[in-house]
Amino acid sequence: MTTLDGAVALVTGASSGIGAATALGLAQNGASIALIGRRRDRLDGVANDITELGAKVLVLEGDLTDPKGAEDMVQETIDRLGRLDVLVNNAGIMLLGTALHTTTEDWDRMVALNVSAMLHITHAAVPYLIDAAATSPRGVSDIVNVSSTAGRVARPSSSVYTLTKFGVNGFTESLRQELLSERVRVSVVAPGTVDTELVDHLRDSIRDAARRQVDSIEPLRPADIADAIGYIVTRDRRVAVNEMLIRAGEQTW
C-alpha cells in the first residue's frame, strides 16, 4: 500500500453517491481533490467535508459532455493544484425503457454522459497523468472507470445503458494496454446494486418497477465502492488491479 500524500485526484460525478464517497476516501488517504459535477450546492457540501479532513479541494462545476469544458476543468486542476495523479471517471446516468417506449433523447443523454464525457476528460488528463507517473514518489498514476454489472450482463429495458457500460469496459482494457509503458494504471470497477440516486432519474412507472426489483436486496453503499477504488489506487506500483466486480451479497444478476 502506498500513501496518496502529495497526489491530486480528480473525481467526476462527485456531488453525491459513489463520487462523493470516493472523493472523501481519497482525501482520507492524503490526496488533494478536484470535484467535478453539475450541482454546485452539493459539490460545496462535499468540499466542506473534505476541508474538515485537512485536505485541499477544488470545486469545478461544469458539463463534461462539452470537450472544451472538460479540457478547461483539467487545466484548472493543474493550474490550481499543480498536478494530476488519479482520475476517477464516475459520472453517469441510467435511463431505462424498452426500445418501443423510450426516446432517442434518453439514449443520447446516456451516450453523452456515460461515454463521451468519459472520453473527453480522459483525453485531456492523459498527458498530465503520464507526467505524474514519471515525477511522483509513487512512480505510478491511475485512471479508474466506474462501470456496472450492466457491462457484463444484458437485461431487458436497459439496452443502451448496457451498451454504454460494455463500452466503458472495452475502452478501459484497450487504454490499459496503451498506457502500460507510461506507468499509468487503468482499471474498471463494476458495481452491482448501490444505494444511490441513479434510479431517481427514471420515469415514475419505471422507477417504481426498478425499486421493486431490488426491494428484497440489501444494496451496497457508496462507501463500499469508494473503498474498492481506494484499494486500487493505493497499491504499490508493481501491482495493477485491472478489474473489480462488486455485487450486493444477495444480487443474482
pLDDT of 213 reads 60
pLDDT of 253 reads 83
pLDDT of 12 reads 98
The 3 state secondary structure assigned to the chain is CCCCCCCEEEEECCCCHHHHHHHHHHHHCCCEEEEEECCHHHHHHHHHHHHHCCCCEEEEECCCCCHHHHHHHHHHHHHHHCCCCEEEECCCCCCCCCCCCCCHHHHHHHHHHHHHHHHHHHHHHHHHHHHHHHHCCCCCEEEEEECCHHHCCCCCCCHHHHHHHHHHHHHHHHHHHHCHHHCEEEEEEEECCECCCHHHHCCHHHHHHHHHHHCCCCCECHHHHHHHHHHHHCCCCCCCCCEEEECCCCCCC
pLDDT of 233 reads 98
pLDDT one-digit tens code per residue, 101-141: 999 999 999 999 999 999 999 999 999 999 999 999 999 99
pLDDT of 190 reads 98
pLDDT of 208 reads 57
Q: Which domains does the chain have, with CATH numbers?
A: 8-246 (3.40.50.720)
Question: Average pLDDT over the chain, rounded to whole?
Answer: 93
pLDDT of 222 reads 96
What positions carry a catalytic annotation? 161
Q: What is the mean pLDDT of each run of 10 residues along the chain (253 residues)?
A: 90 96 98 96 97 97 96 98 98 93 95 98 98 96 98 94 98 98 98 75 57 74 97 97 95 85
pLDDT of 195 reads 87
Answer yes or no: pTM beyond 0.85: yes
